[in-house]
Structure 1
């Protein structure tokens, strides 16, 4: 028969948490650097663009000027586009450059031209040191289909991005060299998706 009391459990828990805190505090003392990050959100699962726009809203909350360039979903009337352009245009530029997914346009030359226009706009925004975060939404798709040169994009980020500017690149099938060079990479894993059960894309969830 156990003679332990709830007080014993609480004491053990408190001691365990104190040890964890001490280790965390020592680790955090070594993390003092700051830099502008290259961040990649990729993978087959949902949430890549959603996460990127979450970071944009976080930057806005800190009063950090930011910008969005959409490479694919330019024609979509999305919730994030409505919110940012209607309420935060003073802090966030929004440029919808794409014309839809490649199977919608069915015109490779047109897709390439739209992607290049998006990349030209992105470079100008990234070069501006006053802009602290730039979201390149779905650029990974443009890179995957060869609409943009991955080596050129990577070289620009490595040589011309201002030191304190964060650049977020979203889209599935991120280029391996981009993944290697990035500071932060998150892969969204598909476990279940309602589309497979016949549920269409819905406002507030997909856009």
Structure 2
């Protein structure tokens, strides 16, 4: 490692001071606060995990929140077990799906369950006491047209309370949803252990 000279340290301090001043100037203009529409999509892993990270932040700050799972069935997951076991007083948790469509093999039942999940989601979002509502894997239901994307977009645009954050996860987010979202993150797949024959593991995937 090269030894820093006093001149090097001075130049670095001056550079960082200028960067901080520029950053502070930008931050001074960011005064607005409002509830966000947040989309996690893409083929990469981590969409739901990142969303649950925000839910746990809300819980840590004693902010009321809720989760509706659209596709995942009744299998035990770490997030659900922890929330139901420790934080059900501050975070409602509803697993409305019965598994992925290739598991249920019953399209009419899948549509019925997705519609029920959307009805619950609207109820929770309309409640202004909920700081954040996570709609886990709703993009899958939207992709298969189990729920009308135009209805979802209209509802979020017209009925979501001003300060409520709504997080929507799942692959293949519809363009209409991306258009109205405030924050969109696409998870990119580089490598995945499943391709090497490694199945989903407790503590990593669920």
Instruction: Determine if the TM-score, normalized by the shorter chain, exceeds 0.5.
Output: yes
What residue number does 1:101 align with?
A: 100
Shift of residue 74, structure 1, vs aligned partner: 2.8
Give CA-to-partner distance per residue, 1:59-107, whole Å, 9 cap, x none.
1111110000000113121000011111111110000000000000011
SS of residue in 1 equivalent to 2:81: helix
What residue number does 1:32 align with?
A: 31
Is the alpha carbon distance of 1:76 and 1:9 closer, same or farther for their aligned partners in structure 2, counting shifts above 3 Å?
same
Is the alpha carbon distance of 1:199 and 1:10 closer, same or farther for their aligned partners in structure 2, counting shifts above 3 Å?
same
Matches within 5 A, 1:105-120: 105-120=104-119
Is the alpha carbon distance of 1:5 and 1:115 closer, same or farther for their aligned partners in structure 2, counting shifts above 3 Å?
closer
TM-score by length of 2: 0.97
Shift of residue 33, structure 1, vs aligned partner: 0.2
SS of residue in 1 equivalent to 2:32: coil
Shift of residue 124, structure 1, vs aligned partner: 0.3
What residue number does 2:146 align with?
A: 147
Q: Does residue 8 of structure 2 align to residue 9 of structure 1?
A: yes
What residue number does 1:85 align with?
A: 84
What 5-or-longer segments of structure 2 have no aligned partner?
none
- Give distance in 2, aligned partners of 1:162 and 1:188: 28
Give CA-to-partner distance per residue, 1:114-155, whole Å, 9 cap, x none.
100000000000000011100000000000011100000110
SS of residue in 1 equivalent to 2:116: helix
Matches within 5 A, 1:1-207: 6-207=5-206
SS of residue in 1 equivalent to 2:152: helix
Shift of residue 25, structure 1, vs aligned partner: 0.2
SS of residue in 2 equivalent to 1:191: coil
Shift of residue 5, structure 1, vs aligned partner: 5.6
